[in-house]
Amino acid sequence: MTPGTVYLVGAGPGDPELITVKARRVLGEADVVVYDHLVDADLLELTRPGCERIFAGKKGGQPCRPQSEIDGTLVRLALDGKTVVRLKGGDPFVFGRGGEEASALEAAGVPFEIVPGVTSALAAAAYAGIPLTHRLHSSAIILLTGHEDPSKEDATVRWEDYARLKATLCIYMGVKNLATIARRLEAGGLAPSTPAAVVQSATTDEHRRILGTLGTIAALAARAQVEAPAMVIIGEVAAFSDRLAWFESSRQLAAAR
């Protein structure tokens, strides 16, 4: 049997309208959709009647399917001749383990395509009114994972090094370790007064933002009981959110009507 194609599709940050045209098309052609925890349920309604849906979501601190099992499921379904959409929050190649899944498919001889999605850093910043680059304030963006315990001696992210780059830092999965991350950035020379923001559940009805500085943002996020999914943005451009937070302003206007 000729293997089916697996599409590794980015579902975007939460708002179903931010999915790409190609992603909508392949969802409508799929025999099976293997989807993640953060995928909006409305996107599953874009599938055709009879499309099988398999949940493979992961949520921090809760039991989840091992990545090897998800890889094996994709391979098995494709070898059965099915067209498969692996629907992942954000972009599959930005902290989405899409590289591992693509490697497993390649090793098994299964054809695949990558359909990029709007990654959380871009969406959270845009909806919070934070221009990640600005001619006068930032000419570089760095995407980092904060999931790893930054206090480990063998931690792969050397936070002190990133403190010296004068770039906008976008930290995925960093709320739990934010206090330690902030201390290490300060130790690397980043001023405690550097503007910072945390954006929770960006682009959705639960969207909210907490603004502060590198020296205060961890305490502010803890006081606000911020939970995942949340994006941490540190850099001079975070200060723009005070004036450019269009999404919250539009929601407030709509609520007042």
Question: Is 80 exceeded by the pLDDT of residue 64?
Answer: no
Question: Is 90 exceeded by the pLDDT of residue 155?
Answer: no
Task: List the catalytic residue out of 15, 91, 173, 176.
Answer: 173
> Domains of the chain, with CATH numbers?
6-115 (3.40.1010.10), 120-248 (3.30.950.10)
**Please, which pLDDT band fits residue 59 given cuts at 50, 70 and 90?**
low
**173 catalytically annotated:** yes
Task: List the catalytic residue out of 36, 40, 71, 91.
Answer: 36
Confidence (pTM): 0.93
* pLDDT tens profile 19-30: 999 999 999 999
Q: What is the pLDDT of residue 62?
A: 59
**58 catalytically annotated:** yes
User: In terms of C-beta density within 10 A (0-12 exposed, 13-18 middle, 19 or more buried), how is residue 57 classed?
Assistant: middle
Helix (H, G, I), strand (E, B) or coil at 53: strand
Q: What is the percent of the chain where pLDDT is above 70?
A: 98
Question: Is 80 exceeded by the pLDDT of residue 122?
Answer: yes
Question: Is 80 exceeded by the pLDDT of residue 154?
Answer: no
Q: Are 124 and 13 in contact (CB under 8 A)?
A: yes
d(CA 14, CA 230) in angstroms, rounded, equals 12
**88 catalytically annotated:** no
